[in-house]
Structure 1
Amino acid sequence: MYLADQTWPDLGDYVAEESVAIVPLGSTEQHGPHLPLSTDHKIAEALAREAAERTGFLCTPTVDIGVSTHHMQFHGTMSVDPPAFRDYVESFSRNLTRHGIDRIVYVNAHGGNMQHLREVGRRLREDRAAYAVEWMWDESIPDLIDEFFPNKGPHGGPKETSMLLHIDPENVKTDKLEAARDGGRVNLEDGNPTIHGARNYYDAIDNSPNGVFGDQTEASAEKGAQLLDAASEQLAFLLEWLDDKPFDDLMAKPHVDPQPGSRRE
């Protein structure tokens, strides 16, 4: 069920029976010479919509712009400051709770959003407004990704390229796959990202001249279809698990007794 296509009575019927919402989030940022800036939010929306179809749970509109300060050296990248992003996500999440939602899965396809979504989830949990959890699609199917891609790369690599070849092929520049590989960095470690235990970078361009990693020539639409199916299945399992859990079991545990054994009858 897609929230924006429903009438308010339809949504009233939904929250009378269900309390789960799926929120897709991505970014609008550079993904090399071969992929569109829309890559992350298109992947997030495709996964969220597919999981909603499989489970019947509510899917909200997609958040297209995230925290992408580490890609600002490349034309077109859009970003919001982390505090503004956190406050925005928390605000609309609390809006969902006013309508009867108390479990939220942030279907996230952008690494720059991860820590901020976790912080929002902590805020919501601490005051028992909702249980909100961040989910990254590629972390749900690591074995399949390792099987498909010897050089998967953390950004703009063959896994994202395969997904876009499946869900949005007209916006993939297939004639640029070799240029993406040769002008970027196949293996992140080759760029010495860590020096004497310290992370030696802040921005993508510090490690890759064209902003992407991995071997994009390993990608295919067929692999993308399998990735979408497998990750959507894992997301559906997560949603069903969350729906089955008693709300109190999802909330923060009480503080330990500060003076065990000292209380008198």
Structure 2
Amino acid sequence: MYLADETWPDLGAYFDEESLAIVPLGSTEQHGPHLPEGTDHMIAEALAHEAAERTGYLCTPTINVGVSPHHRQFHGTMWVDAPVFRDYVESFSRNLTYHGIDRIVYVNAHGGNVEHLQEVGRRLHETETAYAIEWMWDESIPDLVDDLFTQNGPHGGPKETAMIMHIARDLVHDDRLEDARDGGLVDMEDGDYRIHGARTFYDAADNTDNGVLGDQTDATPEKGTELFEAASDQLVKLCDWLDDQPFEDLMPEPHVHERER
């Protein structure tokens, strides 16, 4: 069920029976010369809609702009400051709880959002408002990603390229895959990410001239389909697991002093 397509009486019927919402989040940022800037939010939206269709759980509209200032040197990248993003996500999450939602799955496809979504989840958990968890699609299927790609790369690499080949084939510039590989950083071990234990970079442009990592020529639509189906399965299982948990079991443990009484 997609929230924006429904009428309020029909949504009321959902809230009478269910208390889980799926929220897709991504970014609008550079993904190299071969992928659209909407890559992350397109992946999140496609996975969230697939899970909602398969389960019947409520899916909200997609959050398209995330925490992406580390890609700012490349044309068109959009971002919001991290505190603004956290407050915004927390605010609309509390809005969902007003209607009866008490558990939320943030379907995330942008690494820059991870720690901020986890912080929002912590806030909602601490106040016993809701149980909200961040889910990153590739982290749900790490073995498959490793099996499919020799040089994956965390940004604009073959896994994201393959996923967009599956989701929006016409938006991938096949004629630029070699340029993406040759103008980026193929092997992460070749990058100077840390010196004497300190992280030495702030922006993507510090590590790669064209903004991407990995070997994009290793991507195929077939691999994208395999990734999409496997990640969707994991998301469906997560939603079903979360829906089955008693709310009180999801809330914080009491202080040890209270437990000792």
Q: Give the corresponding residue for 2:170.
A: 170
- Farther off after superposition, 163-172 or 40-49: 163-172
Q: Give the corresponding residue for 1:52.
A: 52
Q: Secondary structure at the match of 1:257?
A: helix
Q: Give the corresponding residue for 1:237.
A: 237
Q: Give the corresponding residue for 1:256.
A: 256
Q: Secondary structure at the match of 2:123?
A: helix
Q: Once the two structures are superposed, what CA deviation does each residue of 1:48-83 show, in whole Å capped at 9, x if it has no partner?
A: 000001111000000000000100010000000001
Cα distance in 2 for partners of 1:149, 1:235 equals 22
Cα distance in 2 for partners of 1:226, 1:168 equals 15
- Residue 189 of structure 1: how far off its partner (Å): 2.2
Cα distance in 2 for partners of 1:80, 1:68 equals 7
Q: Give the corresponding residue for 1:109.
A: 109
Q: What letter matches 1:250 in structure 2?
A: L
Q: What letter matches 1:78 in structure 2?
A: M
- Residue 259 of structure 1: how far off its partner (Å): 11
- Farther off after superposition, 249-258 or 36-45: 249-258
Cα distance in 2 for partners of 1:199, 1:20 equals 38
Gaps of 5+ in 2: none
Structure 1 pair 56/259, CA: closer, same or farther in 2 (3 Å)?
Answer: closer
Q: Give the corresponding residue for 1:181.
A: 181
Cα distance in 2 for partners of 1:258, 1:194 equals 45
Structure 1 pair 259/111, CA: closer, same or farther in 2 (3 Å)?
Answer: closer
Structure 1 pair 117/259, CA: closer, same or farther in 2 (3 Å)?
Answer: closer
Q: What is the TM-score normalised by the length of structure 2? A: 0.98
Task: State the aligned residue count.
Answer: 261
Q: Give the corresponding residue for 1:193.
A: 193
Q: Once the two structures are superposed, what CA deviation does each residue of 1:111-134 show, in whole Å capped at 9, x if it has no partner?
A: 000000000001111111100000
Q: Once the two structures are superposed, what CA deviation does each residue of 1:120-152 show, in whole Å capped at 9, x if it has no partner?
A: 001111111100000000000011111100101
Gaps of 5+ in 1: none
5 Å-filtered alignment, 1:212-227, equals: 212-227=212-227
Q: Give the corresponding residue for 2:14.
A: 14
Q: What letter matches 1:31 in structure 2?
A: H
Cα distance in 1 for partners of 2:79, 2:252 equals 32
Cα distance in 2 for partners of 1:16, 1:187 equals 51
Runs of 4+ in 1 over 6 A off after TM superposition: none
Equivalent residues of 1:188, 1:207 under 8 A apart: no
- Residue 192 of structure 1: how far off its partner (Å): 1.5
- Residue 237 of structure 1: how far off its partner (Å): 0.2
- Residue 169 of structure 1: how far off its partner (Å): 1.2
Q: Give the corresponding residue for 1:95.
A: 95
Percent identical residues:
71
Q: Once the two structures are superposed, what CA deviation does each residue of 1:30-58 show, in whole Å capped at 9, x if it has no partner?
A: 00000010000000000000000111100
Q: What letter matches 2:175 in structure 1?
A: D
Cα distance in 1 for partners of 2:258, 2:141 equals 42
Cα distance in 1 for partners of 2:254, 2:200 equals 40
Aligned-pair RMSD on alpha carbons? 1.1
Q: Give the corresponding residue for 2:146.
A: 146
Cα distance in 1 for partners of 2:152, 2:252 equals 36
Cα distance in 2 for partners of 1:258, 1:44 equals 41
Cα distance in 2 for partners of 1:154, 1:110 equals 10
Cα distance in 2 for partners of 1:10, 1:225 equals 33
Cα distance in 1 for partners of 2:199, 2:225 equals 35
Q: Give the corresponding residue for 2:77.
A: 77
Q: What is the TM-score normalised by the length of structure 1? A: 0.97
